[in-house]
Amino acid sequence: MNKRILIAGAVLGALSVILGAFGAHGLKSLVSVEAVNTFETGVRYQMYHAFLLLFVGIVPKVQEKAKNILFYLVLIGVILFSGSIYALATNTLTTFDFKTIGFVTPIGGLFLISSWVFLIINFVKNNY
């Protein structure tokens, strides 16, 4: 389980750097400054949660069952939150109107918040 969490964290981190570079250099001439800023928000939150997965993967104090739940909360949250932000920020570049799926952004945010709350509960419940 730890290996899968660590790999996912590393992949999300690498993709954050790639997408951040794309947003900083490739998007500036294609979309508005506001859209670039929105895109960067998705990158930032993806990187934060890549670090969270790396932390969860190496900390022995987090129980295996909790690690599994956190893995899915973070992964689903990043896909829905950051993924929808990327789509919305680049909406003008496609023929599909991503605004129709914009409702998933706050759902993804709830998954990300839930991952942190779940981690807090895990720490509070366990005596170290």
Domain boundaries, given as residue ranges, for the chain: 2-125
Position 116, amino acid: W
If phi > 0 it is left, if psi is from -120 to 50 it is alpha, else beta; for residue 62 that is beta
Question: For position 22, what pLDDT does the model report?
Answer: 95
**Hey, CA dihedral for 82, 85, 90, 91, is it positive or negative?**
positive
Question: For position 39, what pLDDT does the model report?
Answer: 97
Position 90, amino acid: T
Q: Name the stretches of the chain with pLDDT < 70.
A: 128
What are the DSSP E strand ranges found in the chain? none
Question: For position 128, what pLDDT does the model report?
Answer: 64
